[in-house]
Amino acid sequence: MKISYRQKIFLFMTITILLLVILILLTAEIFMRSSFKRNLINRAELLANTFVESSLLFFLYYDWEELQRLAKNIKHPELTSIIILDREKVVRVASQEEHLIGKKFLISFPDFSSFKIEISKPYTLYLERGKIPVIDVYVPVKVEGSSKPWGIILLTFSTENINKGLAKARFSFIILGVLLFLAMSFLNSQIANLIAKPIGTLSNHLTEISRGNYEKRIPSIEMEEFEELVQSINSMAENLARRERELREAKDFLEEKVKERTEELRKSEEKYRDFFERAGEAILIINTSTMKIEAANEMAERILGYSEKLEGKSILSLDIEKSSLKELVQDTSEKTSTYSPRIELKKSDGTIVPVEISTKLIGGYLIHVIFRDITERERFERLIIETERWKAMAELSEGLVHNFNNILTIISGRTRLIKETTKNERILKSAETIENMVKEGVRITGKLIEFAQAKEYGIGTQKVDINSLIFDAIDLTRPKWKDKAKEEGKEIQIKTRLGDIPIIKGNRGELESALLNVIYNSIEAIEKEGVIEITTYFQKPNVCIEIKDTGKGIDQENTVKVFDPFFTTKGTIGTGFGLTISYNCIKKHGGNIAIESEKGKGTKVTIYLPIDNSNFR
């Protein structure tokens, strides 16, 4: 059943009035009960105080018999009984139930240390003359000079007359509430009629407008509150009527345009169907006549590093040689499809990305290009090749070390034989030198075999001060960069700029060996005069060491080979293992080593060693 606006307004206001009347009645009830409680406490306090004042001597001398006599003589129309308890809650006086005298009062009541009067909940008392509703009032007995109550006077009052008074007052309030509700309901009905009529008129006219009857106008309403709304609705209807005429004209125009576009969409259907079917790969749509990119998917933009759209850009802007992509477009136009396992494209930042690419001619003048990034694949292939090379180098090194150790064993044995068969001081000294060199040779071959086998070792908790290590390395190399260099007519200076860097954990001997190899390379690179500058600094999370020299430098194409085994630029003088051992050591410590060099200007080697080496080998 549909409810009218008048009924809705009337129902809402009626419920509001009803709730208001109920709230008033509840407030009156709470007020009456509170007033009753206050009056009862006042009467009980007055009665108790009067009793105590009139019989104070009997309280002080504990004259229970006299107090019992006085209690039985108290006459009050609403007082049912009076009981006096001492501090131990033992009944000393009972005006009605004398059998309770001398017994401990078992009913619990509040703590009266603060002399506060308390009142119990109403209950029913059963007497010989019948049952009556009563309530108890607990009044503490205060005696001068005492901080605690002497005892408690329990006054039991009949609430029969009070309940009757409350019932009459409650009935009066209910009658008043009903009359108020009826009066407000009548007024509510009049107000609902006054408001619902114009709202109904507005609703009917708005319904007509929503059905398309924009010529419908709302008549004037004699209420200022609705007049402005009526004007706005009539104005809206006029605007809608005008818009409807404009839309009819636009509809005719659009229908003509739709016919024109339908043919264009039919031609593009094949292009977009194939485009979305293969959207899992990086895709470009190229116009062969303009050499521009007609469309590109998100994968293509991500691989090529473009944050903005690729549409409208020339395909040649992605070409490195300005010819390979052009030739690819021409071949596709002739053969309808092509495939290239590797071609290099230029990213938005100028870097190169290798891709595998295939093309297909669609629609006669569009080329569908699919490509994928093969950077990771090529890196993996290089890793396999490098692994095989290291494996071959390890096998070769093991053989060399075995043969070299055999030679050292023979030399060591012959040296001991010489020492045992001669007493010549000069020969003994030479033999001792030979033995020391044999030990050094054994140590070096041990390093070589460890490097070749890439044996795992634990760095442990050894703390390494890199700045201290650098000073030690400079001292160890002093004979080469100062004394020997002077004999060869060279003048080499070593300068340091050591920053405030943290201590790292690692193998001090391994790191010292790595530094020595780099410093030796810098010394040998300086032909006459030069400077070797060693700098340290902290670049979170790494401690960085820069060793820069003003030597002859290395060709750019050789900088990627310097860490390879057996590679050397020193001809027959070098072994090709110095920087390889350094590289292997730094990698074991979880770090990295990089080299920058320019022919004729010098070389800079940068070593990065992490502080947190919990995952080092």
436-485 pLDDT, tens digit each: 888 877 777 776 665 555 444 444 457 889 999 899 888 878 878 887 88
Instruction: Report whether pLDDT(604) > 80.
Output: yes
Tokens of 538: 């902290």
Is the CB of residue 91 less than 8 Å from the CB of residue 101? yes
Q: H-type helices in 116-223, by residue range?
A: 160-210
Mean pLDDT, the chain, as a whole number?
Answer: 78
Greatest pairwise CA separation for the chain in angstroms: 145
pLDDT at 546: 94
Q: What is the mean pLDDT of residues 479-504?
A: 86
> In this model, does residue 614 exceed pLDDT 70?
no
Question: Dihedral sign, CA of 405, 409, 414, 418?
Answer: positive
Say if residues 348 and 305 touch (Cβ distance below 8 Å).
Answer: yes
Most confident of 238-242, 418-422, 543-547: 543-547
542 forms beta bridges with 539, 610
User: How many CA atoms within 13 Å lie on the side-chain side of 493?
Assistant: 5
Share of the chain above pLDDT 90, in %: 6
Name, of 265-279, 315-329, 382-396, 416-430, the range with top average pLDDT. 416-430
Cis ω for the linkage preceding 541 (within 30 of 0): yes
Q: What does each C-alpha distance from 309 to 45, 279, 284, 319, 368 come to in angstroms?
A: 92, 16, 12, 18, 17
What's the mean pLDDT in 514-530? Answer: 87
pLDDT at 214: 63
Closest residue by Cα to residue 151 from 98, 106, 92, 73: 92
Do 86 and 13 meet the contact criterion of CB atoms below 8 Å apart?
no
Q: What is the per-residue pLDDT across 101-152, written as a single tens digit (0 to 9) for each? A: 888 876 666 565 666 777 778 878 777 777 888 888 888 877 666 667 778 8
Question: Which band of pLDDT confidence, cut at 50, 70 and 90, is reported for residue 274?
Answer: low
Q: How far are the Cα atoms of 411, 431, 527 from residue 420, in angstroms, in the given order?
A: 14, 10, 46
Cα distances from 524 to residues 474, 518, 550, in angstroms, run 15, 10, 11
* pLDDT band of 340, cuts 50, 70, 90: confident
Exposure string for 242-258, b = 16+ CB within 10 A, e = fewer: eeeeeeeeeeeeeeeee
Q: Say if CB 74 and CB 61 are below 8 A apart.
A: no
> What is the pTM for the complete model shown?
0.34
Residues 6+ apart with CB under 8 A from 574: 568
3-class SS shares of the chain: helix, strand, coil, % to 5: 55, 20, 25
Which residues does 568 contact at the CB level (< 8 Å), separation at least 6? 574, 575, 576
Q: Inform me whether the pLDDT recorded for 194 exceeds 70.
A: no
- Of the chain, the percentage scoring pLDDT greater than 70 comes to 78
- Given a cut of 60, whether residue 616 has pLDDT beyond it is no
**Helix, strand or coil for residue 580?**
helix
Give the model's pLDDT for residue 2: 59
∠ Cα 315 316 317 (to 5°)? 90
